[in-house]
Structure 1
Amino acid sequence: MMIPEDVFDQAIVPAKTSHIPSRTSTLPFPTVTPDLPKVYTQFSTEVGHKTLWVVCVVMGISSLVFYGMAMRVPVQKRLFHIITAFITTTAFLSYYAMATGAGLTIHTTTIKETKLHVITEIVERQIYWARYVDWSLTTPLLLLDLSLLAGLNGASILVIMFSDVVMILNGLFAAFSYDQAQGWGWYAFACLAYLNIVYQLGYKGRTAVSTKDNKTRVFFGAISLFTLVLWTLYPIIWGVADGAHKINVDGEIIAYAVLDILAKPVFGFWLLLTHDSMARTSPSIGGFWAHGLSSEGTLRVGDAHDDA
């Protein structure tokens, strides 16, 4: 027989503790928040924007002048005028695109990464892709001007123009590379293509022009050297701008603007004014260029019957 007090004592005895911990006794799992990479932004300002507009106007006016100069000479001697006008016209359209914001984009490049492939520093920089479209069209035309002036053969002209396009495209790929190591690889390929241009123009061009009159030889030597010196500065600017990110976008715009004005309008005026002064010795192109498709070489109805 149980005494009521014993029943009460048993009721208040605590139950055995479970081996499964309760929610309140569980410690929170530690979380680790990774460090975000440092982001450096490089965008143009009002200075760069105004510079683009100034060069756009210069290219536009130069194009109109070159077309006017072309109209003043016989069609047989307009080849250099047309090519040079196309160069500045393309540059005008390119600079208009860049000045209005249609020819640029923002590209992110990794500049520092740990051995565990953790990105610690990146750069967000404006890339003016319209500039590369411009160069891919205008620089082959400019080389065509010099090649025709020197009298290079067709094979050499094809090689020099192809090397130029390869150079420009490698520069474009380098500008849009994911990291700096990849970009410098494309940059090296572009420099190799440029060395071939120097060889074709500097060595083969001088050999070809040696058979021409003294004035043409001197002029080609001066204008080709002027061009190669300017073109050597382009990859240097790319290296410190898009490559190493050492100068800002405004500095890049101004540097390229000066080079583009010298390499296109100044080059064009020098070429055409000198070419026009050598009208007696400058090449003259007839045939289809001057006269189009005429009756020459065609068979008229009745010719065969008459010959019979």
Structure 2
Amino acid sequence: MTQPEVYESIQNDQALNASFWVNIALAGLVTLLFVYMGRNLEDPRAKLIWVATLMVPLVSISSYTGLASGLTVSFLEMPAGHALAGDEVLTMWGRYLTWTFSTPMILLALGMLAGTNLTKLFTAITADIAMCVTGLAAAMTTSSYALRWFWYFISCTFFLVVLYVLLAEWPRDAEAAGTDEIFGLLRNLTVVLWLGYPIFWALGAEGLAVLDVAITSWAYSILDIGAKYIFAYLLLNWIATNERVIAQQPAGIGTGVEPEPGTGTPAED
């Protein structure tokens, strides 16, 4: 199908089209809100967390506009073995581009909040990008139904690496940095909502086809609202009122190790 035909198909499906435009509107509103919330930040680390968080709705505006315009949407014929084998199914591959650019920003903000070290931060972000790219491969593979699921399990394996860092490594770093309470809240929100993405992929038209395209799109959009906008608001609201806690962390990325008594950074006069 040509791009105008894809665009017309999206326009004719009101539920699908609305799932895109609701997020475009919300992303625009929260971007203005986040700019206002971070206007008085002074500490460089706090500003970096704010910029990383601000990038999330900015990326979403671009991504959802691409989806709504038909630019990052294609109709792919499903392979033999798929529940819709032989049918052309609308594939929203632009969502994977969104996640590839936005989820690393979420992890960067969380890692900076926890005061983790570069090794753990690099591990989490690299595994996250690999998770998104292999998820895209699963959605775009039409040569073999089995290979679609093989890509899916590879993506889930990278996701397990991200979960390990979030659940096992960063909590200790956050406790040492004095941000464990807010980190715990944001970590739990992130883990619970991010688990929804592979579940809806498996149930949606790209996987078992239990859910149709419009319902799957709305599921992804609702997960995005919680995992991006609500997450970002909670984080920036805490940063705005607790900037001093962030400013007292060691310069650069944190060491992820609790300092021994008497070895902390001397206070400035």
TM-score normalised by the chain length of structure 2: 0.83
Residue in 2 that maps onto 1:227: 190
- For residues 192-248 of structure 1, the C-alpha deviation after alignment (integer angstroms, 9 at most, x for no partner) is 1011111111111012122133xx211111110110110011000001111112211
Equivalent position amino acid for 1:206 in 2:
P
Contact 2:124/2:162, CA 8 A, preserved across alignment:
yes
**Following TM superposition, by how much is the alpha carbon of 1:121 offset from its aligned partner in structure 2, in angstroms?**
3.7
Unaligned 5+ residue runs, structure 2? 1-9, 253-269
Hey, which of these two has a bigger chunk of strand by percent?
Answer: 1
Contact 1:174/1:186, CA 8 A, preserved across alignment:
yes
Q: Does 1:192 align with 2:160?
A: no
Q: Tell me which of 74, 77, 83 is aligned to 2:42.
A: 74
- Mapped partners of 1:251, 1:276: distance in 2: 36
Unaligned 5+ residue runs, structure 1? 1-41, 114-119, 289-308
Aligned pairs for 1:229-268 (under 5 A) are: 229-241=192-204, 242-268=206-232
Aligned pairs for 1:14-33 (under 5 A) are: none
Q: Percent identity?
A: 27
Change beyond 3 A, Cα 1:286–1:92? farther
Q: Does 1:123 align with 2:87?
A: yes
Q: Does 1:150 align with 2:118?
A: no
**Following TM superposition, by how much is the alpha carbon of 1:68 offset from its aligned partner in structure 2, in angstroms?**
2.4
Q: Tell me which of 24, 33, 43 is aligned to 1:56.
A: 24
| Structure 1 runs, 4 residues or longer, greater than 6 Å off | 284-288
Q: Does 1:94 align with 2:66?
A: no
Residue in 2 that maps onto 1:110: 79
- Mapped partners of 1:212, 1:285: distance in 2: 7
RMSD between superposed Cα atoms in Å: 2.4
User: Secondary structure of the equivalent of 1:73?
Assistant: coil
Hey, which of these two has a bigger chunk of helix by percent?
Answer: 2
Aligned pairs for 1:156-167 (under 5 A) are: 156-167=120-131
Equivalent position amino acid for 1:235 in 2:
P
- For residues 58-83 of structure 1, the C-alpha deviation after alignment (integer angstroms, 9 at most, x for no partner) is 01111122122222322633212111
Change beyond 3 A, Cα 1:188–1:287? closer
